Protein backbone atom coordinates (compact mmCIF):
# COMPACT_ATOMS: atom_id res chain seq x y z
CA UNK A 1 0.00 0.00 0.00
CA UNK A 2 1.39 3.36 -0.99
CA UNK A 3 -1.49 5.71 -0.19
CA UNK A 4 -1.13 8.43 2.42
CA UNK A 5 -3.05 6.53 5.08
CA UNK A 6 -0.86 3.46 4.81
CA UNK A 7 2.26 5.63 5.21
CA UNK A 8 0.83 7.82 7.97
CA UNK A 9 0.86 10.99 5.88
CA UNK A 10 -1.67 13.80 6.25
CA UNK A 11 -3.01 15.68 3.22
CA UNK A 12 -1.24 18.92 2.36
CA UNK A 13 -2.73 22.29 3.26
CA UNK A 14 -4.94 23.51 6.08
CA UNK A 15 -6.41 20.62 8.08
CA UNK A 16 -10.19 20.20 7.77
CA UNK A 17 -12.27 21.50 10.65
CA UNK A 18 -15.73 20.30 11.54
CA UNK A 19 -18.40 22.98 11.70
CA UNK A 20 -20.36 22.41 14.90
CA UNK A 21 -23.84 23.87 15.39
CA UNK A 22 -24.03 23.73 19.19
CA UNK A 23 -23.20 27.39 19.81
CA UNK A 24 -20.33 26.30 22.06
CA UNK A 25 -16.62 27.10 21.79
CA UNK A 26 -14.22 24.73 20.01
CA UNK A 27 -10.45 25.04 19.46
CA UNK A 28 -9.72 26.69 16.14
CA UNK A 29 -6.51 25.62 14.48
CA UNK A 30 -4.38 27.99 12.48
CA UNK A 31 -2.12 26.70 9.75
CA UNK A 32 -0.41 23.72 11.34
CA UNK A 33 3.37 23.86 11.11
CA UNK A 34 4.87 20.57 12.18
CA UNK A 35 7.87 20.62 14.47
CA UNK A 36 11.06 19.52 12.86
CA UNK A 37 11.84 15.89 13.19
CA UNK A 38 12.76 13.13 10.83
CA UNK A 39 12.67 9.42 11.32
CA UNK A 40 15.86 7.43 11.46
CA UNK A 41 16.32 4.74 8.85
CA UNK A 42 15.36 2.06 11.36
CA UNK A 43 12.31 4.05 12.50
CA UNK A 44 11.24 4.55 8.89
CA UNK A 45 11.39 0.82 8.17
CA UNK A 46 9.60 -0.06 11.41
CA UNK A 47 6.93 2.55 10.68
CA UNK A 48 6.38 1.43 7.10
CA UNK A 49 6.19 -2.22 8.14
CA UNK A 50 3.75 -1.72 11.02
CA UNK A 51 1.71 1.44 10.49
CA UNK A 52 -0.81 -0.19 8.10
CA UNK A 53 -1.73 -2.59 10.92
CA UNK A 54 -1.46 -0.30 13.93
CA UNK A 55 -2.21 3.16 12.59
CA UNK A 56 -4.77 5.28 10.76
CA UNK A 57 -4.86 8.82 9.42
CA UNK A 58 -7.76 11.17 10.14
CA UNK A 59 -10.72 10.34 7.90
CA UNK A 60 -14.51 10.39 7.83
CA UNK A 61 -14.82 6.68 8.56
CA UNK A 62 -15.96 5.58 12.01
CA UNK A 63 -13.55 3.17 13.68
CA UNK A 64 -14.77 -0.35 14.36
CA UNK A 65 -12.92 -1.00 17.62
CA UNK A 66 -13.55 -4.76 17.65
CA UNK A 67 -12.27 -5.21 14.10
CA UNK A 68 -9.19 -3.00 14.56
CA UNK A 69 -8.07 -4.56 17.84
CA UNK A 70 -9.05 -8.06 16.78
CA UNK A 71 -11.14 -8.75 19.87
CA UNK A 72 -14.74 -8.10 20.85
CA UNK A 73 -16.35 -6.30 23.75
CA UNK A 74 -13.32 -4.63 25.30
CA UNK A 75 -13.60 -1.04 26.62
CA UNK A 76 -11.79 1.69 24.70
CA UNK A 77 -9.90 4.79 25.83
CA UNK A 78 -8.72 7.63 23.57
CA UNK A 79 -5.62 9.63 24.53
CA UNK A 80 -5.46 12.99 22.78
CA UNK A 81 -1.98 14.37 22.20
CA UNK A 82 0.04 11.27 23.08
CA UNK A 83 3.38 12.90 22.19
CA UNK A 84 6.12 10.28 22.12
CA UNK A 85 3.83 7.85 23.93
CA UNK A 86 5.90 7.27 27.08
CA UNK A 87 2.94 7.33 29.45
CA UNK A 88 0.64 5.78 26.84
CA UNK A 89 2.75 2.63 26.65
CA UNK A 90 3.42 2.51 30.39
CA UNK A 91 -0.28 2.71 31.25
CA UNK A 92 -1.37 0.29 28.52
CA UNK A 93 0.51 -2.63 30.04
CA UNK A 94 -1.49 -2.12 33.24
CA UNK A 95 -4.74 -2.12 31.24
CA UNK A 96 -4.40 -5.23 29.04
CA UNK A 97 -8.16 -5.65 28.72
CA UNK A 98 -8.63 -2.05 27.53
CA UNK A 99 -8.17 -0.81 23.96
CA UNK A 100 -6.00 2.34 23.85
CA UNK A 101 -6.15 4.70 20.87
CA UNK A 102 -3.35 7.30 20.87
CA UNK A 103 -4.08 10.43 18.82
CA UNK A 104 -1.18 12.65 17.75
CA UNK A 105 -0.27 14.98 14.86
CA UNK A 106 3.52 14.66 15.14
CA UNK A 107 4.76 11.71 13.09
CA UNK A 108 8.13 11.25 14.90
CA UNK A 109 6.20 11.00 18.17
CA UNK A 110 3.95 8.33 16.71
CA UNK A 111 7.01 6.54 15.32
CA UNK A 112 8.55 6.38 18.80
CA UNK A 113 5.35 5.01 20.29
CA UNK A 114 4.99 2.52 17.44
CA UNK A 115 8.56 1.35 18.04
CA UNK A 116 7.80 0.77 21.72
CA UNK A 117 4.59 -1.08 20.87
CA UNK A 118 6.41 -3.40 18.44
CA UNK A 119 9.51 -4.01 20.58
CA UNK A 120 7.56 -4.65 23.78
CA UNK A 121 4.77 -6.53 21.99
CA UNK A 122 2.04 -4.31 23.43
CA UNK A 123 -1.08 -5.49 21.65
CA UNK A 124 -3.71 -3.10 23.04
CA UNK A 125 -2.47 0.19 21.50
CA UNK A 126 -3.48 1.65 18.14
CA UNK A 127 -2.66 5.11 16.75
CA UNK A 128 -4.42 7.81 14.75
CA UNK A 129 -2.56 10.70 13.17
CA UNK A 130 -4.70 13.81 13.26
CA UNK A 131 -6.12 16.63 15.39
CA UNK A 132 -7.79 15.26 18.50
CA UNK A 133 -11.08 17.16 18.16
CA UNK A 134 -11.44 16.11 14.54
CA UNK A 135 -10.66 12.48 15.34
CA UNK A 136 -13.32 12.49 18.06
CA UNK A 137 -15.87 14.20 15.86
CA UNK A 138 -15.32 12.21 12.69
CA UNK A 139 -13.93 8.78 13.66
CA UNK A 140 -15.24 7.87 17.13
CA UNK A 141 -18.82 6.55 17.47
CA UNK A 142 -21.08 8.26 20.00
CA UNK A 143 -21.37 6.62 23.44
CA UNK A 144 -18.47 4.26 22.74
CA UNK A 145 -15.56 5.28 25.01
CA UNK A 146 -14.74 4.24 28.54
CA UNK A 147 -12.35 7.17 28.86
CA UNK A 148 -10.65 10.16 27.26
CA UNK A 149 -7.21 11.35 28.40
CA UNK A 150 -5.64 14.73 27.70
CA UNK A 151 -2.25 14.94 29.37
CA UNK A 152 -0.24 18.20 29.25
CA UNK A 153 -1.91 19.77 26.21
CA UNK A 154 -0.31 22.77 24.54
CA UNK A 155 -1.17 25.70 26.86
CA UNK A 156 -1.13 28.31 24.05
CA UNK A 157 0.00 30.90 26.64
CA UNK A 158 -0.54 34.05 24.56
CA UNK A 159 -4.01 35.52 25.04
CA UNK A 160 -4.66 35.74 21.31
CA UNK A 161 -4.09 31.99 21.04
CA UNK A 162 -6.39 30.92 23.89
CA UNK A 163 -9.03 29.99 21.31
CA UNK A 164 -6.67 27.17 20.23
CA UNK A 165 -6.68 25.49 23.63
CA UNK A 166 -8.29 22.07 23.43
CA UNK A 167 -10.26 22.40 26.68
CA UNK A 168 -13.28 24.45 25.62
CA UNK A 169 -17.02 24.22 26.26
CA UNK A 170 -17.55 22.58 22.87
CA UNK A 171 -14.77 20.02 23.37
CA UNK A 172 -16.20 19.02 26.74
CA UNK A 173 -19.60 18.57 25.11
CA UNK A 174 -18.07 16.52 22.28
CA UNK A 175 -16.19 14.29 24.74
CA UNK A 176 -19.36 13.78 26.79
CA UNK A 177 -21.13 12.66 23.61
CA UNK A 178 -18.42 10.07 22.92
CA UNK A 179 -18.25 8.66 26.46
CA UNK A 180 -20.47 5.85 27.70
CA UNK A 181 -22.43 6.50 30.89
CA UNK A 182 -19.85 6.18 33.65
CA UNK A 183 -17.01 7.02 31.27
CA UNK A 184 -14.23 9.26 32.54
CA UNK A 185 -12.38 12.32 31.23
CA UNK A 186 -8.90 12.81 32.74
CA UNK A 187 -6.97 16.04 32.09
CA UNK A 188 -3.56 17.05 33.46
CA UNK A 189 -1.59 20.29 33.06
CA UNK A 190 1.45 21.90 34.64
CA UNK A 191 0.68 25.37 33.26
CA UNK A 192 -0.82 27.64 35.95
CA UNK A 193 -2.75 29.90 33.57
CA UNK A 194 -4.20 26.90 31.74
CA UNK A 195 -5.22 25.41 35.09
CA UNK A 196 -7.10 28.62 35.88
CA UNK A 197 -8.76 28.36 32.45
CA UNK A 198 -9.85 24.76 33.17
CA UNK A 199 -11.03 25.76 36.67
CA UNK A 200 -13.55 28.07 35.00
CA UNK A 201 -14.89 25.20 32.88
CA UNK A 202 -15.14 22.29 35.33
CA UNK A 203 -18.94 22.60 35.53
CA UNK A 204 -19.51 23.88 32.00
CA UNK A 205 -20.81 20.59 30.56
CA UNK A 206 -24.02 19.31 32.22
CA UNK A 207 -23.31 15.68 31.26
CA UNK A 208 -19.87 15.71 32.94
CA UNK A 209 -19.86 15.51 36.74
CA UNK A 210 -16.59 16.98 38.03
CA UNK A 211 -14.95 14.66 40.57
CA UNK A 212 -11.78 16.64 41.28
CA UNK A 213 -8.57 14.69 41.87
CA UNK A 214 -7.83 12.14 43.14
CA UNK A 215 -11.01 10.10 42.79
CA UNK A 216 -10.57 6.67 44.35
CA UNK A 217 -13.65 5.17 42.70
CA UNK A 218 -12.61 6.04 39.14
CA UNK A 219 -13.26 3.08 36.80
CA UNK A 220 -10.08 3.80 34.83
CA UNK A 221 -6.46 4.18 35.90
CA UNK A 222 -5.71 7.74 36.99
CA UNK A 223 -2.29 7.10 38.48
CA UNK A 224 -0.05 7.72 35.47
CA UNK A 225 2.58 5.09 36.32
CA UNK A 226 5.44 7.00 34.71
CA UNK A 227 6.32 10.65 34.49
CA UNK A 228 5.82 11.89 30.96
CA UNK A 229 8.50 13.86 29.13
CA UNK A 230 6.58 17.12 29.49
CA UNK A 231 5.70 16.45 33.10
CA UNK A 232 9.37 15.86 33.87
CA UNK A 233 10.22 19.23 32.38
CA UNK A 234 7.49 20.81 34.45
CA UNK A 235 8.76 19.28 37.67
CA UNK A 236 12.28 20.46 36.84
CA UNK A 237 10.89 24.00 36.82
CA UNK A 238 8.91 23.43 40.02
CA UNK A 239 5.61 23.65 38.18
CA UNK A 240 2.56 22.38 40.02
CA UNK A 241 0.78 19.49 38.33
CA UNK A 242 -3.00 19.93 38.30
CA UNK A 243 -5.25 17.02 37.41
CA UNK A 244 -8.98 16.89 36.72
CA UNK A 245 -11.46 14.02 36.54
CA UNK A 246 -15.03 14.04 35.27
CA UNK A 247 -17.54 11.20 34.94
CA UNK A 248 -20.27 11.07 32.29
CA UNK A 249 -23.70 11.10 33.87
CA UNK A 250 -26.62 11.57 31.49
Binding residues: 79, 104, 131, 154, 158, 190, 228-231
CA distance 116 to 120: 6
CB 145 within 8 A of CB 114: no
- Return left, alpha or beta for 42; rule: phi > 0 is left, psi -120 to 50 is alpha, else beta: alpha
Q: H-helix or E-strand containing 112?
A: helix 107-119
- Which neighbouring-strand residues pair with 243? 188
Would you please indicate which residues are annotated as catalytic (active-site) residues?
Answer: 154
Binding residues for substrate: 158, 190, 228-231
How long is the chain? 250
For CA atoms 228, 207, 78, 169, the dihedral sign is negative
- Return left, alpha or beta for 20; rule: phi > 0 is left, psi -120 to 50 is alpha, else beta: beta
Binding residues for S-adenosyl-L-methionine: 79, 104, 131, 154
Amino acid sequence: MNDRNSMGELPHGRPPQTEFDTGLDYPRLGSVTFRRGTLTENQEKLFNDNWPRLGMVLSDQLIDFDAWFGRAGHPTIVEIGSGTGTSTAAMAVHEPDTNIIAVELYKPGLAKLLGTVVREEIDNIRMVRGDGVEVLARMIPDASLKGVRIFFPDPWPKARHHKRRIVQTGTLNLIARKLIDGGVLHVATDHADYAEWIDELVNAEPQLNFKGFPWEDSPIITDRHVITKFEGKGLDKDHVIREYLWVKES
